[in-house]
Amino acid sequence: MGTTYHSPVLLRPSVDGLNVRENGIYVDVTFGGGGHSKEILKRLGPEGKLFAFDQDEDAVENAIEDDRFRLIPENFRFMARFLKFYGIRKVDGILADFGVSSHQFDRPDRGFSTRFEGDLDMRMSKRNTVSAYAVVNSYSYGDLRSVLFQYGELRNANAMAQALIEAREEAPIKTTGHLKQALRQFLPKFKEHKILAQVYQAIRIEVNQELEAIKEFLLQVPGILDKGGRLSVISYHSLEDRLVKRFVQTGKFEGEAEKDFYGNIDVPLKKVGGLIIPSKEEIALNNRARSAKLRIAERKWI
């Protein structure tokens, strides 16, 4: 394997949540370094199958040599389409680990991390035509304000958007360092990292259309999961977790759940157990785990 990835977050509880059947069919929609996939394969028998998705071209280097495994280099928003292409209409479990991989954070040239100087990129797939540079330098004031407020949950999004407009009028904002300098007035000493992380999150979500991809993915889950099949999802911020929680509860992202003729709530999934968060020991070993939340759901039998 070529590229080094850190240990996956909540590895055992997330795979335990799938309740892996020896000869079942499973999907890991965020392959990354293959940590979750390897654990699933350990629990599968010779007739089991595992399909994995990852839009990041670097992940292909980590493909697992196993006849039971296939890596599909695509965004998980296309899960149903590609599974159908391979003749798969129902699966026994789906695992998702949202957010940015440690590998992506650790590559300065990808522009994901506040720790490094690098080009404003933030694309999870190089096939994506919109980069962080395009968002910061070509979006209107209103669009920038909306991105920063909705996806970064920044209260002073108005002033930040105006500062970016003024900075780019003097010269294009090309690097992470330029971005930081343009927003310097909003970065008090003891809150600099936290606020920058929110700014980066906002731009990254817009670049990769992350929330829309998650919505499209979740809407496909009930149709693909066989009865009794499990969904295991790890989220890293409230915007992601809220979508997962609401979809499991109501089968939609807004409004009330549908009800049947008798007034009973009619949703395809039911939650399994409560919210799972990493232990103090795991957080000490892997700081990325500190904000992780795991939710598990099951496709109803009826």
The answer to whether residue 1 scores a pLDDT higher than 50 is no
Across the range 256-267, mean pLDDT stands at 77
271 and 221 together in one domain: yes
In whole angstroms, how far apart are CA 243 and each of 92, 202, 235, 302? 22, 16, 10, 24
89 and 217 together in one domain: yes
Q: How far apart (Å, rounded) are the C-alpha atoms in residues 87 and 90? A: 9
Q: pLDDT, tens digit, for every residue of 4-20? A: 456 789 999 999 999 99
CATH number of the structural domain spanning residue 172? 1.10.150.170
Q: pLDDT, tens digit, for every residue of 123-175? A: 988 888 899 999 999 999 999 999 999 999 999 999 999 999 999 999 999 99
For residue 291, being part of any structural domain is answered with yes
Q: How far apart (Å, rounded) are the C-alpha atoms in residues 132 and 205? A: 10
Domain boundary among 208, 230, 248: 208
User: Residue 110's pLDDT is what?
Assistant: 52
82 and 214 together in one domain: yes
Range of the domain at 58: 11-102+210-299
235 and 282 together in one domain: yes
71 and 188 together in one domain: no
186 and 265 together in one domain: no
224 and 291 together in one domain: yes
Q: pLDDT, tens digit, for every residue of 46-86? A: 999 999 999 988 778 889 999 999 999 999 999 999 999 99
Q: How far apart (Å, rounded) are the C-alpha atoms in residues 204 and 301? A: 38
Confidence of residue 27 (pLDDT cuts 50, 70, 90): very high
The candidate with the shortest Cα–Cα distance to 160, out of 152, 148, 151, 171, is: 148
137 and 177 together in one domain: yes
For residue 3, being part of any structural domain is answered with no
The answer to whether residue 34 scores a pLDDT higher than 60 is yes
134 and 88 together in one domain: no
User: Residue 100's pLDDT is what?
Assistant: 66
192 and 216 together in one domain: no
For residue 244, being part of any structural domain is answered with yes
Cα angle for residues 180, 192, 141 (degrees, 5° grid): 50
225 and 94 together in one domain: yes
Q: How many domains does the chain have?
A: 2
CATH number of the structural domain spanning residue 63? 3.40.50.150
For residue 282, being part of any structural domain is answered with yes
Domain boundary among 208, 235, 270: 208
For residue 5, being part of any structural domain is answered with no
Q: pLDDT, tens digit, for every residue of 99-130? A: 765 544 445 445 455 555 788 988 988 888 89
217 and 83 together in one domain: yes
For residue 4, being part of any structural domain is answered with no
User: Residue 105's pLDDT is what?
Assistant: 44
For residue 6, being part of any structural domain is answered with no
Domain boundary among 176, 208, 240: 208
Residue 125 and residue 54 in contact, taking contact as beta carbons nearer than 8 Å: no
For residue 1, being part of any structural domain is answered with no
